[in-house]
């Protein structure tokens, strides 16, 4: 299972701790993690806002506040995907409560999709006039068609035209 993990926080130390904890060698062996690209550090987003000191018209009496939002992104592949998701939930709620996690699950990335398409290409199979072989060939044709339809994002709707 391919998983993209986006983490963000106002505290830079918590981001750094989370990334060092997540890339721990013992943890990666237990969860069987392989990272395609370890992390991307996105630029810091700064937010500045002002508040009037006085409740009246005094525009010159203002206070400026600023906070920074630090973000990182991990791209991970794990054979134990459900265990990883449970672990991330426990980790966020018990240790890193000031870190915001966004998790994207990518079912079939493009490279995997292309390899699968090449493997089940009906042109690579020979058809023998056997009932079991014909049934298998029809299944391969069906899967190949489904894969191509998903790849091109066709929408089959009976209400159109």
**Tens digits of residue pLDDT in 58-109:** 777 888 899 888 888 888 877 777 788 888 888 888 888 888 888 888 765 5
Helical pair 110-119 and 131-152, crossing angle rounded to 10 deg: 150
Q: Answer whether 48's CB lies under 8 Å from 65's CB.
A: yes
Out of 44-58, 68-82, 109-123, 133-147, pick the least confident: 109-123
Mean pLDDT of the chain: 75
The dihedrals phi and psi of 5, each to the nearest 5 degrees, come to -115, 120
Q: What is the pTM of this model?
A: 0.57
Q: Which runs of consecutive H residues, i.e. helices, occur in the chain?
A: 12-22, 25-31, 81-94, 110-119, 131-152
What's the pLDDT score for residue 44? 83
According to DSSP, the residues that pair with 72 across neighbouring strands are 7, 41
């Amino acid at each position: 299972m391919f998983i993209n993990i986006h983490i963000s926080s106002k505290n830079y130390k918590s981001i750094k701790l989370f990334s060092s904890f997540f890339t721990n060698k013992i943890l990666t062996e237990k969860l069987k993690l392989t990272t395609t690209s370890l992390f991307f550090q996105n630029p810091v987003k700064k937010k500045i806002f002002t508040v009037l000191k006085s409740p009246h018209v005094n525009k010159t009496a203002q206070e400026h506040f600023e906070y920074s939002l630090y973000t990182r992104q991990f791209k991970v592949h794990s054979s134990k995907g459900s265990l990883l998701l449970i672990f991330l939930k426990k980790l966020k709620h018990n240790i890193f409560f000031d870190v915001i996690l966004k998790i994207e699950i990518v079912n079939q990335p493009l490279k995997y999709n292309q390899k699968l398409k090449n493997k089940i290409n009906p042109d690579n199979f020979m058809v023998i006039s056997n009932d079991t072989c014909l049934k298998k060939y029809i299944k391969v044709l069906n899967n190949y068609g489904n894969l191509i339809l998903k790849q091109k994002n066709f929408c089959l709707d009976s209400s159109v035209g």
